[in-house]
Every structure is written in structure tokens, then in C-alpha cells.
């Protein structure tokens, strides 16, 4: 029959089965904390714990405490915690002699049920604190790394994701691609974006919109990047819509753009699918600013370019049919190109071929406000046909004009050609 003492011990350490579920605490740390809790109990009970040995078996959930005391003659015991009489020692082991150390097991009954329960609570608290600290440290070291997790809970403003150890991670809506849609139980990829401690609990924020996420995906798909043969100089994104990547190779035998795209787009296609069909442009980096701007504005073909290094401004002149390509749908192309090269890019329509039937915008000064005309000319549109040739959504994206205003302007311009 199991003794009350063993029951009492297991009443404390039966939670080892719970402790084993703590995902970020190793066995050595667990044993250290458990020993620390019991040594504090020993100090309170006996005043000193130096002559005690604590033996812990985390697999079985057993804990035993042994006390070492010097054997002295009967009647000469001055400190009962550190000394034991020869008569009492021989009750433990019959062959003990004077001057030896007697070892006896400390019964848990000495601590009392209340102290045992208190120790268990203290132990749980310390383990929880250690787990949180370890989780914070673990993910702080993983900022910028890709993690894969399972969607566990979906809320209005964020999604809870569980990693492979069951740790709770958060993916806010603000860090999701607009086309992202996940169901409970699905697996998703993201990078560790931010780790903070909120009221003593780690808060781990994921991101799918960060340029770093695209960079890590490229490293997974393109071995030359991971090997250092190709360097990613800069990435800019409009998550879910378009991205531009500047790459460079230090080996003339390696085409960095070709390596990133892969044979028939094999490498880039997987990334595009992961990013919800985000259009990805990969270009060769160069220190030649004019050439860099031209490459950044791909697929538009530039006729000429004027660079002002002092103001970090690039004036780009294009044929009329290339203006919309340079601006791109929603203005994404020119906006990302500006971010990539670090220059404010302004697009101007080149009047290589003069259309006698076209009308300068200034001629509409009586019907269209001057500030609106200035807005249109600022993006390279200085004639009626130039404005009519640009889709409404692009005009709205590139100017301060509203949809209704753009429609009204086009009606005024169109009437001149009817």
C-alpha cells in the first residue's frame, strides 16, 4: 500500500505530466526550479539547507529529500539539524560509527499539507514565468524568419495561429494581404514581425505584407541567394498587387534575374501564388541612376530622362502610348519605382508626334479649374487626348482628383471632339 508520504509528494509533483507539456522549458531548468522551491521550504523549516540532498525523477514524478548529519555521542547533540546521536543513527543503519555522516530521508509530513500546496503553487508560477520568458527570447531571436502555423481562431481584426509547439501567434488584418482568406485549421506562412511583452505575456506578431516576407520566400526558392552568389539589394511592395526587387550578382556567369525567375518562371510562380498573385518585377541593380530608373519603370520604354542628384528627382519623358505603362494600374508601377530607386519620378508625355486635332489643357481654363489642370500636367498630361487616353482609376490614383471630378473633366474634354 502506498504510504501517505509518497501520496503527499506526488500530490505536489503529479503535475509533472503538466510540466512536460510546457513547450519551452527543458528538463534541466525544470529540475533546477523544483529544487529551488524545496530548498526554500527547507530553509524555512530547518534554518539551513546546506546538508540536504534533493533527488528528482521527472519521468516518474518522484522527489526525495535526504539529510546528512554528523554522528556524535549520546548527549552531545548541539544542533539537531546537523548532528545526530549514535543511538538514533543506529536506528537508521545498525553499523553506523561515530564521526560518520548519517543519511536519513526527510518525510514530507514535516512540511505540512499547507506548505506542500503553497510550494506547488509557487512552482507552477515560476514555471509559467520561465516559459513566458523563454518564449519571448525564442521568438525575439526569430524576428524576420518564416514560421508555418495552423489557423486556430479568426477574429475581426486578427487571426490566432498556433505554431508546431502550440504557441499562440497573432496575424493582424493590417499585416495580411488584401486577398488573404483563411479558414480554421488551414496552414499559413508568415514572418515573425514583432515580439513584445504585454503584462508579462509575450505577444508575437506575424506579417505577410512585409518586404522581408518576400525576401525570405526568395531565399527558399533561389539557392543562389542563400549561398550568397546573388544579393537582394532592395524590395518594395504594394502587398497583393505589385512588388519590385533589385538583385545583383558578383559572379558574371550568373544572371541574377534569370536565377530568381527560374526556367519558364518556375521559381517565381510559387512565390506569386503564396502572395495571392502579386505581380513581381525582378530587375538588375546598377549604380547608374538613369539606367536604374529605366529598369525600375519596366515595362514602359523611356525616350529620355533628366536626373537631378541634388533634389533626388528624375524627370522621365515617354511616348504617349508608354505613359500609362509607366504609371501602371492604380499608379503602383511609378510609385514602387520611385521607392526602389529612392528618387521622386515624374512622368512627362513626349510630343514627338504633334496631333493637330489635339487641344492643350490650358485652352479649357474657362471650364476647368486651374488647380485641376496643374494636377493633370504634373503627371505628364498636358493635352485633352492625353487625359482621355488614361483610365479613370489611374487618374484618381495619380492625382488628388475624385472619381466624379475625373468623369466630369472627361465629359468636357470629349465634347470638344464631337
- Per residue in 108-129, pLDDT tens? 766 767 777 777 777 778 778 8
Q: What pLDDT does residue 64 have?
A: 82
Query: How far is Cα 70 from Cα 47, in angstroms, rounded to an integer?
Result: 17
Q: Which ranges of 181-331 does DSSP label H, i.e. alpha helix? A: 211-221, 223-226, 256-261, 266-274, 289-296, 320-327
Highest mean pLDDT among 189-193, 237-241, 387-391: 189-193
- Residues 173-181, mean pLDDT to the nearest whole number: 94
Q: Is the pLDDT of residue 317 over 80?
A: yes
Average pLDDT, whole number, for the chain?
85
CB 216 within 8 A of CB 191: yes
Q: What pLDDT does residue 289 have?
A: 92
Q: Is the pLDDT of residue 17 over 60?
A: no
Q: Say which DSSP state 163 is in.
A: -
Query: How far is Cα 40 from Cα 417, in angstroms, rounded to an integer?
Result: 94
Q: What pLDDT does residue 7 have?
A: 36
- Residues 76-94, mean pLDDT to the nearest whole number: 89
Rounded to 10 degrees, the C-alpha dihedral 15/17/22/27 comes to 100
Q: Is the pLDDT of residue 16 over 70?
A: no
Helix, strand, or coil here: 199? Answer: coil
CB 175 within 8 A of CB 209: yes
Nearest-5° Cα angle at 20, 15 to 25: 115
Q: What pLDDT does residue 271 have?
A: 94
Q: What pLDDT does residue 3 have?
A: 42
Nearest-5° Cα angle at 397, 395 to 399: 65
Within 8 A by CB and 6+ apart from 386, the residues are 320, 323, 349, 358, 380
Task: Identify the CA nearest to 35 among candidates 17, 18, 60, 12.
Answer: 12
Q: What pLDDT does residue 355 have?
A: 57
Q: What pLDDT does residue 1 have?
A: 35
Within 8 A by CB and 6+ apart from 139, the residues are 167, 192, 195, 202, 204
- The backbone torsions φ and ψ at residue 178, rounded to the nearest 5 degrees and listed phi first, read -55, -35
Any bridge partners for residue 197, and if so which?
Answer: 202
Top pLDDT among 157 and 3 is at 157
- Residues 379-387, mean pLDDT to the nearest whole number: 79
Q: Which residue has the cell 555521542?
A: 73
Confidence of residue 12 (pLDDT cuts 50, 70, 90): low
CB 334 within 8 A of CB 315: no
CA distances from 303 to 140, 308, 318, 387 (A): 49, 17, 5, 20
Q: What pLDDT does residue 19 have?
A: 52
Q: What pLDDT does residue 48 have?
A: 84
Any bridge partners for residue 158, and if so which?
Answer: 172
Q: Which residue has the cell 505589385?
A: 242
pTM attached to this predicted model: 0.67
Q: Is the pLDDT of residue 282 over 80?
A: yes
Top pLDDT among 189 and 4 is at 189
Among the listed ranges 246-250, 355-359, 401-405, which one has the minimum average pLDDT value? 355-359
Q: Is the pLDDT of residue 352 over 50?
A: no
- Residues 126-136, mean pLDDT to the nearest whole number: 85
Any bridge partners for residue 171, and if so which?
Answer: 159
Query: How far is Cα 189 from Cα 240, in angstroms, rounded to an integer?
Result: 15
Q: Say which DSSP state 360 is in.
A: B
Among the listed ranges 3-12, 205-214, 233-242, which one has the minimum average pLDDT value? 3-12
Confidence of residue 319 (pLDDT cuts 50, 70, 90): confident
Q: Which residue has the cell 538514533?
A: 88
- How far is C-alpha 413 from the geometric centre of its chain's CA atoms? 50
Amino acid at each position: 500500500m502506498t504510504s501517505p508520504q509518497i501520496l503527499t509528494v506526488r500530490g505536489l509533483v503529479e503535475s509533472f505530466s503538466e510540466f512536460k507539456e510546457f513547450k519551452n522549458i527543458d528538463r534541466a531548468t525544470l529540475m533546477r526550479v523544483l529544487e529551488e522551491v524545496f530548498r526554500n521550504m527547507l530553509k524555512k523549516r530547518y534554518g539551513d539547507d546546506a546538508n540536504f540532498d534533493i533527488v528528482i525523477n521527472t519521468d516518474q514524478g518522484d522527489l526525495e529529500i535526504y539529510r546528512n548529519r554528523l554522528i556524535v555521542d549520546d548527549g552531545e547533540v548541539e544542533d539537531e539539524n546537523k548532528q545526530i546521536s549514535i543511538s538514533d543513527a543506529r536506528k537508521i543503519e545498525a553499523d553506523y560509527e561515530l564521526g560518520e555522516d548519517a543519511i536519513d530521508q526527510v518525510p514530507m509530513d514535516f512540511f505540512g499539507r499547507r506548505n506542500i500546496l503553497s510550494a506547488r503553487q509557487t512552482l507552477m508560477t515560476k514555471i509559467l514565468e520561465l516559459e513566458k520568458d523563454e518564449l519571448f527570447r525564442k521568438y525575439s531571436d526569430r524576428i524576420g524568419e518564416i514560421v508555418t502555423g495552423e489557423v486556430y481562431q479568426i477574429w475581426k481584426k486578427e487571426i490566432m495561429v498556433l505554431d508546431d509547439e502550440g504557441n499562440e501567434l497573432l496575424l493582424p488584418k493590417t499585416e495580411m494581404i488584401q486577398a488573404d482568406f483563411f479558414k480554421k485549421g488551414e496552414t499559413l506562412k508568415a514572418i515573425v514581425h514583432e515580439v513584445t511583452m504585454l503584462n508579462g505575456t509575450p505577444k508575437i506578431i506575424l506579417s505577410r505584407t512585409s518586404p522581408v516576407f518576400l525576401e525570405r520566400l526568395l531565399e527558399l526558392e533561389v539557392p543562389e541567394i542563400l549561398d550568397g552568389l546573388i544579393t537582394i539589394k532592395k524590395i518594395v511592395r504594394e502587398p497583393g498587387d505589385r512588388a519590385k526587387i533589385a538583385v545583383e550578382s558578383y559572379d558574371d556567369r550568373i544572371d541574377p534575374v534569370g536565377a530568381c525567375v527560374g526556367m519558364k518562371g518556375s521559381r517565381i510562380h510559387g512565390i506569386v501564388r503564396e502572395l495571392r498573385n502579386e505581380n513581381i518585377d525582378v530587375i538588375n541593380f546598377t549604380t547608374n541612376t538613369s539606367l536604374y530608373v529605366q529598369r525600375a519603370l519596366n515595362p514602359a520604354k523611356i525616350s529620355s530622362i533628366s536626373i537631378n542628384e541634388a533634389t533626388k528627382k528624375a524627370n522621365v519623358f515617354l511616348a504617349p502610348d508608354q505613359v500609362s505603362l509607366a504609371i501602371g494600374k492604380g499608379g503602383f508601377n511609378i510609385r514602387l519605382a520611385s521607392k526602389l530607386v529612392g528618387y521622386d519620378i515624374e512622368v512627362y508625355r513626349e510630343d514627338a508626334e504633334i496631333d493637330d486635332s489635339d487641344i492643350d489643357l490650358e485652352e479649357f481654363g474657362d471650364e476647368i479649374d486651374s488647380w485641376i489642370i496643374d494636377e493633370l500636367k504634373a503627371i505628364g498630361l498636358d493635352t485633352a487626348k492625353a487625359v482621355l487616353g488614361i483610365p479613370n482609376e489611374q487618374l484618381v490614383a495619380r492625382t488628388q482628383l475624385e472619381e466624379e471630378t475625373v468623369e466630369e473633366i472627361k465629359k468636357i474634354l470629349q465634347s470638344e471632339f464631337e
